[in-house]
Every structure is written in C-alpha cells, then in structure tokens.
Amino acid sequence: MKDKNSAVTAEQHNDGRIFIMNYDDHETRTKSTLELSFAAGFRAHADVANCFGSIYTHSLEWAIQGYVEAKERLRARRGAKHWSSELDAVLRNAKRNETSGLPIGPASSSIAVEIILAAVDRELAGKFRFVRYIDDYTAYCETHLEAQDFIRSLNIALSRYRLSLNLSKTKITELPEPLVDSWATQLHNALPWKNDSSGALTLYTHDAINFLDYAVHLNRAEPDGSVLKLAAGLICHRAQGSTAATVFDYILNLSWHYPILLPLLEKIDVTSEYYDTGLVAEKFDKILEVNALHRRSDGMCWALYYLKQLKSHPSTENIDRVIQSGDAAAITLLSGFDAGVDAAVAFASELVQSSTLYELDQYWILLYQLFFHDRIGNPYEAEPTFEILKKYDVQFVNPSTSQSKAEDYCAYLYNPFVKREERLSFHDFMDKK
C-alpha cells in the first residue's frame, strides 16, 4: 500500500537494480508544497536523529504486524514464522546478529526505513497535513499550537520504534516563507552569463571570480558550505579554457576549508596545460593533511583520488597520518599507491592478528582489496566470501576504465538483443572462457 505522506517510491529500475528510491523532482515538490501549505499559518520541520544508525531491526516486525501482534506471536511461537521476522533476521545477519543500525546506501536499508516510518506516518495521517522525504518531516499547520502538537505526536510515534527527533533541526516557522532559501535565490539571480560576439552564452573569467566572491560573502551567513557548493555547481560545468582554470584554482582553495566542494573539481573542464600539475598535487597533499588531522573520511578519500589521477602520491608524513586516522576507506585508497601499500599492509596485518570479527568487519573493504591483490591472506579463513569474490574478479576500487566479469554479466543480462531463453546462467557465464 502506498504511503501518501511519503515523497519516496520504491521502484524497479531499468538498469537491473532491484530497487531505487525515487524522489519528487523540483517542480513536483514545489507544487506539492503549495498545495499542502495553502491556508496554513505555520510550518513545523523535524527529522529523525541518526535514522539509519538508530534502526532497531526487531521494530520491523512491530511496524508490519503491529506491536501487540508481533509480541503475541513471539510469545506463542505459533504457526510459521512471519515474513517480517525473516526480514529482521536477514538484516541482523548482515551485521553479525546486531539489532541496532542499518548500513547507509543499500536499497534494502532504504526499504526497511520506509517500512518503519510508513507505520509512523499512519499514526499521524488524518490528524495533520505533512510530507516526509526519507526521514525528514514537514507539516503545515493552522496555528503554532497545532505545529507543537505535530512535533510532540511525531516524537511519541517515533519512540514506539526506538527512534527520536533531532532537536537541533526541529523548528516551527511562521508562514508565508520562501519556498527556497533566500541565498539560493540570490545566487541564481547573480549567475554571470553573458553573450559572446556570436551570441552564445559564455562565462568570462572576471565574472566567474565576482560570482564566487559573492558566494563566499553569502556563505558567512550560512557557514556549512551549502552556499559554496551550489555556487560551484552552477558554474563549474560551464567554464572553459583559462576561465575553467581560474574556477578550478578558486574552488581548490575553498576545498581546503570545505571538503564538500572536492567532488565538484572533476566536473570542471580544465586540462593540464592551464595549470602546474606539481603545484596542484602539493595542494591536494595539503588538503589530505588537514582532513587526516580532523578524521574527515570524505576529504581524505577525495584528496587521495585526485593525487592518483595526477599520477602523484601522498607525502610520507601524510601516509602516516592516514594510517593513524584508522579510516577504512582512506587506507584502502592509500593501498593503491606504491608509496602507501606497505603501510596499509602493516596496518591490516596487525588488525588481523589482534582484532575481533566485529572489528575486522569494519575494515572489510581494505582487507578484501589487499587480499585480492595477494598482499595478505584471507582474514576470514572459515568463510568463503572473499574467495568467491576474488574468483569472479570483483573489486571495489576499480580503475574507471575497467569492470569485473560479474559486472559484465549484468550488462549481458540486460542486453535486449539476447533472447531470454538463450541467456546463460550466472555460473555458466562466469565459467566461460
């Protein structure tokens, strides 16, 4: 049954993924907001604190069967096991039988969250006008008192599933209010497009600098980096030639302060003829240093990624800092450098000798990549998973130009020119020379 209060729909995707979580596009979301907010005096906003990390897997049974029914079934142990109990068990088994927390990313986690929060929605439906985007709730109320009642009712409903509100993001706003933040409107209005001599829209260097300067100014009022991320995203793909080089340098400098900008750098169409690759590599090494010191995983990973793209490497001091950070993803990327692989192997070897299974699981991607490249033995001697993955050439840190044979099978499976009845099974395809 569709949850009318959720803006998320689970659907099968045409590229072969079993589920994707579809969200309303901007226009649909705007239309929905206008309809919901009509004649409302206040807007209540709240989201679930650490939603995925706080999910209690047993609560899936409560959400699906009902709390009383689930407890009664458990006490009586009557009949066949309910499918929700099997779902609970599968999710627990993925975390060595832990009942708390779901990994962020897999569709299975998103579906589990939808199941639980849909049950919360049902408790509130008919009493309030509201919409939910994953774990983010917005209600439109006639009075401030009603808005308070919504937040209180939401908190009570969440508590039944051992969830709670993020108080720092809970607020009530008097309407009318703009549909988007004022800084976003200001940025869009300040976009510096001009026509060149041929009439085509173009971006000049001085205009790009002025625009980014303006974004830095606006960022002082919203210092979480959102302003800079939007500004960079609006112009990075349009800059060309020397203008692109200037935009690249500007955003690279800002990235030292705001690692959230690092992914945008590869969207800038700038070639090495416009900048000193050695100097840029030094800057990425500096960015790696500051992110390692602050234990920021994404910042370390992006810096290492760009160093690899530049055919450079982290400094000896930064190799030590990445190792000391204990970050699994960053150390995994570090192992891809000739200068860093020995340090990564030493870290992993000590881990294997002194850690529990639970601790090993936190570093599975590092351990697997080192095992795949024959740098260490199988740390899970009693389990065949790593051996199976390696047999089928599965990697999690692949060059962008290559893919595993297992990935080739996905493309083969959805090839419209291969008749369904003629398709090879997975094992036959993988064993084929």
Mean pLDDT of 411-416: 76
Q: What is the pTM of this model?
A: 0.83
Mean pLDDT, rounded, of the chain = 89
Q: Please, which pLDDT band fits residue 15 given cuts at 50, 70 and 90?
A: low
Instruction: Residue 236: give the domain boundaries.
Output: 180-275
pLDDT of 352 over the 60 cut: yes
Residue 158 and residue 202 share a domain: no
- pLDDT 10s digits, 189-248: 999 877 666 766 788 999 999 999 999 999 999 888 999 999 999 999 888 888 999 999
Res 344: pLDDT: 98
Q: Is residue 125 part of a domain?
A: yes
Q: Is residue 265 part of a domain?
A: yes
Q: Is residue 404 part of a domain?
A: no
Residue where one domain finishes, among candidates 122, 139, 174: 174
The total number of structural domains that make up the chain: 2
Q: Is residue 425 part of a domain?
A: no
Which of 58-62, 322-326, 399-403 bottoms out in mean pLDDT, i.e. has the lowest? 399-403
Residues 6+ apart with CB under 8 A from 168: none
Residue indicated by tokens 């047993």: 58
Mean pLDDT of 260-289: 90
> Could you give the CA distance from residue 430 to residue 409 in angstroms, rounded to a whole number?
8
Res 49: pLDDT: 96
Residue 33 and residue 70 share a domain: yes
Q: Is residue 353 part of a domain?
A: no
Residue 209 and residue 94 share a domain: no
Q: Is residue 287 part of a domain?
A: no
Q: 3-state SS of the chain?
A: CCCCCECEEEECCCCCCCCEEEECCHHHHHHHHHHHHCCCCEEEEEEECCHHHHCECCHHHHHHHCHHHHHHHHHHCCCCCCHHHHHHHHHHHCCCCCCECCCCCCHHHHHHHHHHHHHHHHHHECCEEEEEECCEEEEEECCHHHHHHHHHHHHHHHHCCCCCECHHHCEEEECCCCCCCHHHHHHHHCCCCEECCCCCEECCHHHHHHHHHHHHHHHCCCCCCHHHHHHHHHHCCCCCHHHHHHHHHHHHHHHHHCHHHHHHHHHCCCCHHHCCHHHHHHHHHHHHHHHHHCCCHHHHHHHHHHHHHCCCCCCHHHHHHHHHHCCHHHHHHHCCCCCCHHHHHHHHHHHHHHCCHHHHHCCHHHHHHHHHCCCCCCCCCCCCHHHHHHHCCCCCCCCCCCCCHHHHHHHHHCCCCCCHHHCCCHHHHHHCC
pLDDT of 183 over the 60 cut: yes
Q: Please, which pLDDT band fits residue 365 given cuts at 50, 70 and 90?
A: very high
Among 75-84, 190-199, 362-371, 391-400, top mean pLDDT goes to 362-371
Residue 49 and residue 168 share a domain: yes
Res 371: pLDDT: 97
Q: Please, which pLDDT band fits residue 18 given cuts at 50, 70 and 90?
A: low
Residue where one domain finishes, among candidates 241, 275, 309: 275
Residue 146 and residue 50 share a domain: yes
Residue indicated by tokens 């299975």: 108
Residue 187 and residue 67 share a domain: no
Single out the residue of 116, 101, 100, 133 nearest to residue 7, CA to CA.
133
Residue 205 and residue 141 share a domain: no
Residue 195 and residue 134 share a domain: no
Residue 193 and residue 114 share a domain: no
pLDDT of 13 over the 70 cut: no
Residue 146 and residue 213 share a domain: no
pLDDT of 274 over the 90 cut: no
Res 199: pLDDT: 64
- Check which CATH number belongs to the domain holding 159 and give it: 3.30.70
pLDDT of 63 over the 60 cut: yes
- pLDDT 10s digits, 110-168: 889 999 999 999 999 999 999 999 999 999 999 999 999 999 999 999 999 999 999 99
Q: Is residue 338 part of a domain?
A: no
Q: Is residue 240 part of a domain?
A: yes
Residue where one domain finishes, among candidates 227, 249, 275: 275
Res 79: pLDDT: 62
Res 398: pLDDT: 67
Residue 226 and residue 110 share a domain: no
Rounded to 10 deg, the angle between the 107-124 and 144-159 helix axes is 130
Residue 164 and residue 60 share a domain: yes
Res 259: pLDDT: 96
